[in-house]
Copies of this chain bind each other. A is one copy, B any other.
Amino acid sequence: MSTKHQFLSQLNPALTKELLADSTTVTFEKGTEILRQGQYVKVVPIVIEGTIKVFTRQEDRELLLYYIEPNESCVMSFSASLKNQPSQVFATTEENTTVLLLPVSKIPGWMKEFPDINTLFFQQFNTRYTELLDTIHHVWFDSMDVRLYDYLVKKSQVSNQNPIKISHRQIASELGTAREVVSRVMKKIETEGKVVQRSQGIEIL
């Protein structure tokens, strides 16, 4: 599969071979919960195809943190495992998703043998940090209409569809608000000519 090599080609071929030898490739169905808050992690997933949604929860209120797209890794699971900390977040698959699972136990060895992998991991860390920071900015500085619109644009990109097929309830959950609020704000940005709601879904203009 070419997408696989897109990611691994950045690495030493010897390492690539080892990675593939010691890892397992798994495909999860859309909507599968692959990581629960408080769970201990023993693998580092790398998304080959599909999308993983990472979010946090507090007393029924959820908040979408970021998506992990193909060729990206959920490095936080690695760092959490370093200190044997439980996961702080949840993760589910947005669509049918194929991931390469690297066993955490093998990683320190690879890090010593193939220093390249460190740079890759650091870059992944940086990506996650940046995205968390973006989330803070959205949550703290932006009003609901801006957040909703940006969310829809992002969602459209990630899922690669323009009339987006999604319920208000689902949107509300990911933005950490109530369905009625989404209804209200959606009408607002609709009258502003930014989106249209049709039976096929929500279309961004």
Contact = CB atoms under 8 A, between A and B. Distances in A.
A141 B82 contact: no
A56 interface: yes
A173 interface: no
Contacts of A136: 56, 63, 65, 132, 135-136, 139
Interface in A120-143: 121-123, 125-126, 128-130, 132-133, 135-137, 139-141
Interface string A176-191: 1000000000000000
Given A111-B118, A112-B115, A122-B79, A58 B139 contact: no
Given A56-B137, A61-B141, A63-B136, A111 B115 contact: yes
A137 B58 contact: yes
Contacts of A111: 115, 118-119
A73 to B, nearest CB: 13
B123 A176 contact: no
A137 B57 CA distance: 9
By size class, the interface of chain A is: 35 or more
Nearest to A119: B82
A78 B122 contact: yes
B123 A125 contact: no
A43 interface: no
A1 B176 CA distance: 48
Interface in A69-128: 76, 78-80, 82-83, 85, 88-89, 108, 111-112, 115, 118-119, 121-123, 125-126, 128
User: Which 3 interchain pairs have the tightest Cβ spacing?
Assistant: A79-B126, A125-B125, A112-B115
A84 B65 CA distance: 24
A132 B108 CA distance: 26
